[in-house]
Amino acid sequence: MKPLFTVHIGEYLVGAHIEQTYPRWNVWIPSKDTGIDLLLTDSRNQKTVSLQVKFSKDFSLTHASRSPLLQSTLLAAGWWTHDLTKIQKSNADFWVFVLPSFVEKKPSFIILPPKTLRRRLKDIHATPKKRIHSYFWVTKSKRCWETRDLSKGDQELLALDRFSDDNRDFTTFLNAWKQIEKKLK
Q: What's CA 62's distance to the chain center, in Å?
A: 19
Whole-structure pTM value: 0.94
Q: Check if the beta carbon of residue 114 is closer than 8 Å to that of residue 90.
A: yes
pLDDT (mean) for 42-50: 97
Determine the pLDDT at residue 16: 97
Q: Which of 3-17, 73-87, 139-153 has the lowest mean pLDDT?
A: 3-17
Contact 124, 35 (CB under 8 A): no
Residue 2 lies in a domain: no
Confidence check: pLDDT of 124 > 90: yes
Mean pLDDT of 28-49: 94
Say if 1 falls within a structural domain. Answer: no
pLDDT of residue 4: 56
- pLDDT at residue 129, rounded to an integer: 75
Say what the pLDDT of residue 102 is.
87
Q: Does 92 have pLDDT greater than 80?
A: yes
Q: What CA–CA distance (Å, rounded) separates 55 from 78?
A: 8
pLDDT surpassing 90 at residue 63: no
Is residue 3 domain-resident? no
Position 51 in a domain = yes
Residue 4 lies in a domain: no
pLDDT at 88: 94
Name the residue range of residue 63's domain: 9-184
Q: Is residue 115 part of a domain?
A: yes
Question: Is the pLDDT confidence value at 10 over 90?
Answer: yes
Give me the number of domains the chain comprises.
Answer: 1
- Contact 77/135 with Cβ under 8 angstroms? yes
Whole-number pLDDT of residue 2: 55
Q: Is the pLDDT of residue 22 over 60?
A: yes
For residue 92, tell me if it sits in a domain.
yes
Q: Is residue 79 part of a domain?
A: yes
Contact (Cβ atoms closer than 8 angstroms) between residue 169 and residue 145: yes
pLDDT of residue 90: 97
Provide the pLDDT for residue 135: 95
Q: Does 81 have pLDDT greater than 90?
A: yes
The Cβ of residue 154 has, within 10 Å, a number of other Cβ atoms equal to 17
